[in-house]
Structure 1
Amino acid sequence: MPKPRVVFFDVGNTLLFPNRARILAPLPEQHHPTLDQWQNLERRTKREFDKLLLEGQVDHGFWWIFYGYLLEEASMSDDNLRSTLVKNTQNSGNWDQIRHGTRESLDRISRDYCISVISNSDGRIVEVLGGCKIADCFQSVTDSGIVGYEKPHPAIFEAALRTMQAHPEESVYVGDVYSVDYLGARNIGMRAVLFDVAGAYRDHGFPRVESLEALEIWLKG
C-alpha cells in the first residue's frame, strides 16, 4: 500500500480527555472513581459496547453503558443521575484535558502528513480544540454535530475525505473504539490504528498505540 498522505484523528480519548471532576460533579464525591478505576470501567464498557454494536443490539450509547457500570459498583440505581452524567460527558466543553506534549507531537506529524479531525461531537469541537491551543494544527475538522452522521457511518468518513481531497487508501484513522473508529475507517478502505490509552485492546492483535509518540513511530514503520 502507498505511504499515507493524510492522518485523521478522533478527539475524545485520543487528543483530548474528559474533565472528570466537572463531569462527575452531580455524583457524591465518595463515589468518584480514581483514574485506574475509570480506565477499568472504560475497558469493561468497550468490550460490552463493541460486542453489542457488532451484533446490532445497541439500545443505548457507550456512556450510558459506562455509567451503568459505575453506578452499579457504587450500589446506586438512579436513571436520572445516569442521564445527567451521560449529558455532561457528551458536552464537548467537558473534554478539555490534554496530555503533555500533544501539540509538539502534532507539529512533528504534520511535517510529514496532512492532519485532520473526525469527531462524534456536538457541533462545537473546533471551539474546544481552539481552547486547548491545537485547532490550528489541523487542515480540516469534521464534526458529526454539523455533518449529521456519526461514526461508524461511512458518510462522516466520506465527508472528511472530501474536505481533504483524499482517497481512503492514502489515509489513516486514529481513534479509541474498535467498533466505531477502527472498523468504521476500515470499512471504507482507510487504514486504522487504535489509540488505546486504557489498554482495552492490548491483547487483541489490532494495530494500537498508547501515546502520540508511539503513533509517530508506528507511522514511520
Structure 2
Amino acid sequence: MVREVLFDVGSTLVRPCPSVAETMARVAAERGHALSTDDFAVHMPAMEAFYEAEYRRDGDFWCSQEGSTTIWLDQYRLVCRRMGLEHDAEGMARAVHEAYRKPGQWGVYPDVSACLDGLEERGFALGVVSNWDAGLEGLLQGLRLLPRFGAVVASAALGRRKPDPAIFEAACAALGVPPSEAVHVGDRPDADGDGAAAAGIRPVIVDRAGAEEGCGYERIRRLTDLLELL
C-alpha cells in the first residue's frame, strides 16, 4: 500500500523560466555586452555536458551549500569563457546565479497543481527530496508550493545527496511513513531511480521527452499520469 509520494524538484516540479540562455543574455546586456539569447543558446549543450561530467565524476558538490553554489558558478563561467567573456566571467556567473535564487526565475510545470491536488484528495503524504542548495524551502515558498509538502529534504542541508538512500530515508522519517509504503518521482534514473530503489522506495521516472525508455523503472510522461499509476 502506498501512503506517501516524494518528489524531486528540478526538471520534475520546476524548470528555469526564463531559460538560462535568456537570463544570461539579459545579464550580459545589463553589464554592457551586446549578445543575444541565441548567442548563449549555442553553448547550452556544452554547459549541460560539463555538469553531467562533473556529476558522474563526483556529485558530492550537492552535499554542501558551498559545493552546490560552486557547480552553478562553474557552469556559467564555462559559458562565458566560450563566449569570449573571460574578463567578466566571474561577474556574469555571480549575477546569473543570484538571479536563480529568486522564485520569479523558476516556472512550475503545468501538470504539477493537478497532480498534487489529486494526491492530496486521496490522502497521500507528500514530500520533496532534491539535490539542491539550502535555499530550497524558500524557493518552494516563493512558488507557493511549500504548504503542499510535509517534508522538504535538500541535499546541501542534510549533507547527503541522491542516490544515497539516507536522503530518502530522512524524508520518510519526517513524514512517519516507512520506505516500503512510499513512491519517489523524479527525472533521473540514476539519482532518483537507483537511490529510491536502494532505500526500498518504489521509483517512478517522469520522462517528459520520452528519452528514458530503457531505464528499467516505471515511467510517466506527465505528473498527472501518476494518479492513474497509483
- Fold shared by both chains (TM-score > 0.5): yes
| Structure holding more helix per residue | 2
Preserved contact between residue 152 and residue 183 of structure 1 (Cα < 8 Å)? yes
Under a length normalisation based on structure 1, what TM-score does the superposition of the two structures give?
A: 0.73
Matches within 5 A, 1:1-221: 3-19=1-17, 20=19, 21-22=22-23, 25-26=26-27, 28-29=35-36, 30-33=38-41, 41=45, 45=49, 49=52, 53=56, 57-58=57-58, 76=83, 81=89, 84=93, 88=97, 91-93=100-102, 96-112=106-122, 113-219=124-230
Q: Is the 8 A contact 1:141 1:160 kept in 2?
A: yes
Rounded to whole Å, the distance in 1 between the matches of 2:25 and 2:185 is: 27
Count of matched residue positions in the alignment of Structure 1 and Structure 2: 205
Contact kept in structure 2, 1:182 and 1:192, CA below 8 Å: yes
Q: Answer whether contact 2:203 2:217 (CA < 8 A) is retained.
A: no
TM-score by length of 2: 0.70
Greater Rg, structure 1 or structure 2? Answer: 2
- Kept in 2, the 8 Å contact 1:23–1:88? The answer is no
Q: Displacement, 1:105?
A: 2.1
Whole-Å Cα distance in 2 between the matches of residues 123 and 200 of structure 1? Answer: 30
CA deviation vs aligned residue, 1:124-181 (integer Å, no higher than 9, x gap):
1111112111211111111222212111122211211110112111111101111111
Unpaired runs of 5+ in structure 1? none
* Structure 1 residues 105 and 198, CA gap change in structure 2 (3 angstroms): same
CA RMSD of aligned residues (A): 3.8
Could you say what secondary structure the match of 2:191 adopts? helix
Cross-structure match for 2:65: none
Residue segments in structure 2 that go unaligned for 5+ positions in a row: 29-34, 63-70
**Cα displacement (A) at 1:193:** 0.8
CA distance in 2, matches of 1:134, 1:99: 12
- Do the aligned partners of 1:49 and 1:58 also contact (CA within 8 Å) in 2? no
The Cα offsets for residues 9-30 of structure 1, whole Å up to 9 and x where unpaired, read as 0111111111213356456323
Pair 1:146–1:204, CA change in 2 (3 A) = closer
- Secondary structure, aligned partner of 2:102: helix
Seen in structure 2, the aligned counterparts of structure 1 residues 25 and 88 have a Cα distance that, compared at 3 Å, is: farther
Q: Distance in 2 between matches of 1:121 and 1:137?
A: 18
